[in-house]
Each structure stands twice: as structure tokens, then as C-alpha cells.
């Protein structure tokens, strides 16, 4: 705790792992070396064409008889390494992102369609159930006109809780009366339906 210096760390993520950036001076030097090797190759070609009869004998003895002669046999070639630039990587990432976005858009549309179908089914089933209820009972029940059962017992319990907010056990007998009243009403309604 304060006895040592805290070391700060800086982490840099390299997004272009396959790309090597070089300065202009290095690029010029590489171009010069390529031009020098091309000049050396042309000098060798000129010297080879001047002494043509002696090289033909050597070349024919060294070449395989199968006829597979490479096009640039004996000459150095420069193979450029294929690297991805930042633009190509960004384009690939954007393409992958758009593919993923399209995939999830389709999935979302399918889910929304399925949920709307389920919602329609639930609504039709609800309408059927309410129609059957009204047809079976042959009377319409209006919620606003319905009377709450055990209204007097409910008011007694409410008043007891208001008068004794921190002593709710004093209202125990009133709660039991209310519970019994509701239970009797429920049994009476069930018996009337049967």
C-alpha cells in the first residue's frame, strides 16, 4: 500500500496481423534491389546469347528428357506475397456483419410471425370460452353489478388493521371469520352450479 510504484500497462491490439507496413525509404531500397537483380539477369542473358554454342551442349545434358522445362529456368523470380490490406479486412468484416444481420433479421421475423399466430389462437380460444360460458349460463354477468362476498367481514378486518397497524395478531379472530365467510360462499356457488 504505497510502498512501491504502481506500473502502468498499455495494451495495443494489432488488428492487421498479416500486414507489414514499411516506410517509403525501405520501399525504394527494395525497388532498387529488384532493379539491380533485373539488370544482372539481363547481363547474364546477353552473355549467354554471345556464347550460345557452348551453353546449348551443357543445357541439353542438364535438362530432363521428359519435356517438363520450366519457363524461367535459371532466372531468379520474385513472388509477391499475398497480404490483406486493412480495406479488404474491413470489407470482409462488413460482409460477415451483414450476413449475420440478415440471419438474425430473418430469425426475428419468424419469431414475430409465430408469436402473432399464437396470439391469434389465444384470442380465438378466449372468445370461444366466453361464448360457451354465456351460452351455458344463459345469463350475462356484469362485473360492475356483482356484489363482493362478505363485505361486512372485509370492512371489519380492514378497520382492525388500521387501528392496530403494528399489532396485527389482535385481528386474528376477524381474519378467521372473513376466511370462513369466503369459504362458505365459494362452497355455495359450487353447489349451485352442480
Helix 151-163 / helix 172-193 crossing angle, nearest 10 deg: 160
Summarised one tens digit per residue, pLDDT across range 20-68 is 777 888 888 888 888 877 776 666 656 655 554 544 444 444 444 555 5
pLDDT digits (tens, 9 = 90+) for 143-167: 555 677 788 888 999 999 999 988 8
CB atoms within 10 A of CB 171: 19
The pLDDT confidence band at residue 89, using thresholds 50, 70 and 90, is confident
* CA gap 152, 169 in Å, rounded: 20
- Cβ within 8 Å of residue 75, ≥6 positions away: 41, 44, 45
Q: What is the pTM of this model?
A: 0.29
CB 133 within 8 A of CB 169: no
**CA separation, residue 30 to residues 24, 27, 79, 121 (Å):** 10, 5, 13, 73
Rounded distance between C-alpha atoms, residue 136 and residue 129, angstroms = 10
Amino acid at each position: 500500500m504505497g510502498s512501491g510504484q504502481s506500473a502502468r500497462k498499455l495494451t495495443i491490439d494489432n488488428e492487421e496481423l498479416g500486414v507489414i507496413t514499411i516506410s517509403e525509404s525501405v520501399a525504394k531500397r527494395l525497388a532498387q534491389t529488384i532493379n539491380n537483380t533485373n539488370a544482372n539477369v539481363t547481363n547474364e542473358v546477353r552473355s549467354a546469347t554471345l556464347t550460345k554454342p557452348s551453353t546449348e551442349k551443357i543445357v541439353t545434358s542438364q535438362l530432363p528428357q521428359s519435356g517438363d522445362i520450366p519457363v524461367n529456368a535459371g532466372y531468379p523470380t520474385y513472388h509477391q506475397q499475398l497480404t490483406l490490406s486493412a480495406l479488404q479486412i474491413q470489407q470482409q468484416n462488413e460482409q460477415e456483419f451483414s450476413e449475420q444481420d440478415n440471419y438474425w433479421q430473418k430469425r426475428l421475423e419468424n419469431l414475430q410471425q409465430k408469436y402473432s399466430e399464437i396470439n391469434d389462437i389465444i384470442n380465438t380460444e378466449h372468445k370461444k370460452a366466453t361464448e360457451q360460458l354465456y351460452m351455458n349460463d344463459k345469463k350475462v354477468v356484469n362485473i360492475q353489478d356483482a356484489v363482493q362476498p362478505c363485505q361486512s367481514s372485509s370492512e371489519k378486518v380492514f378497520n382492525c388493521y388500521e387501528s392496530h397497524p403494528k399489532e396485527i395478531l389482535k385481528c386474528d379472530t376477524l381474519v378467521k371469520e372473513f376466511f370462513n365467510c369466503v369459504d362458505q360462499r365459494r362452497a355455495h356457488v359450487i353447489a349451485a352450479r352442480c
